[in-house]
C-alpha cells in the first residue's frame, strides 16, 4: 500500500492512495482532520467486521451504525487516550449473544485499526439492537 500527501495551502493537504482514491485533510478543521479520520477508521473498520460476521452467522443486518466518542490528551501530542464505540444494529432475529460475539471478534481479532491502537488507547465497546 502506498499513498501521497501533498500540501496545497495553509494546513490543507491533498491525499491520494495508490488505488487512485483522493480526499483532503485539513489541520485547521475546515475539512476532515487527520485525527477525525483515525476515529472514523476505527468505526468503519470494525463495522465492516461486525456486518460480515453477522452475515456469515446467517443473521444479516438491515442497518449498522457505529457511534464513536473519543477523549484526547490535553497536551501535545494530543493523542487519543480513550475511544468508545457503540454498535447500533437492526435486523431480523438478531440476538445479543451473536452481536456480542461479532463485536468481540472484531475488536480482538480482525479490526486492524483497533488492533494497531491497542496498548496505546483504552478502547471500549457496547452494542444495542434497534427495531
CATH topology of domain 34-129: GMP Synthetase; Chain A, domain 3 (3.30.300)
Q: How far apart are CA 2 and CA 9, in angstroms?
A: 23
pLDDT value at 60 more than 90 = no
**Under 8 Å between Cβ of 125 and 105:** no
Does the pTM of the predicted model rise above 0.85?
Answer: yes
Whole-angstrom distance, CA of residue 127 vs CA of residue 90: 11
Q: What percent of the chain has pLDDT over 90?
A: 95
How far apart CA 26 and CA 92 sit, in angstroms, is 41
Domain 1-32 has CATH 2.20.25: yes
Question: What does the pLDDT average to over 23-40?
Answer: 96
pLDDT (mean) for 101-129: 97
**pLDDT, average across residues 35-53:** 98
Cα atoms found within 13 Å of the Cα of residue 6, Cβ hemisphere only: 7
Specify the domain boundaries for CATH 3.30.300.20 within the chain. 34-129
Rg (the chain; Cα; Å): 17
Domain with CATH 2.20.25 in the chain: 1-32
Amino acid at each position: 500500500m502506498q499513498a501521497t500527501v501533498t500540501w496545497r495551502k495553509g494546513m490543507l493537504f491533498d491525499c491520494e492512495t495508490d488505488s487512485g482514491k483522493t480526499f483532503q485533510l485539513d489541520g485547521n478543521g475546515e475539512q476532515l482532520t487527520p485525527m477525525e479520520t483515525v476515529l472514523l477508521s476505527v468505526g468503519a473498520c470494525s463495522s465492516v467486521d461486525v456486518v460480515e460476521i453477522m452475515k456469515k452467522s446467517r443473521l444479516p443486518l438491515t442497518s449498522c451504525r457505529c457511534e464513536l466518542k473519543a477523549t484526547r490528551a490535553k497536551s501535545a501530542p494530543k493523542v487519543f487516550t480513550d475511544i468508545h464505540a457503540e454498535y447500533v444494529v437492526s435486523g431480523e432475529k438478531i440476538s445479543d449473544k451473536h452481536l456480542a460475539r461479532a463485536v468481540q471478534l472484531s475488536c480482538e481479532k480482525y479490526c486492524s485499526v483497533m488492533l494497531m491502537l491497542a496498548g496505546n488507547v483504552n478502547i471500549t465497546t457496547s452494542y444495542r439492537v434497534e427495531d
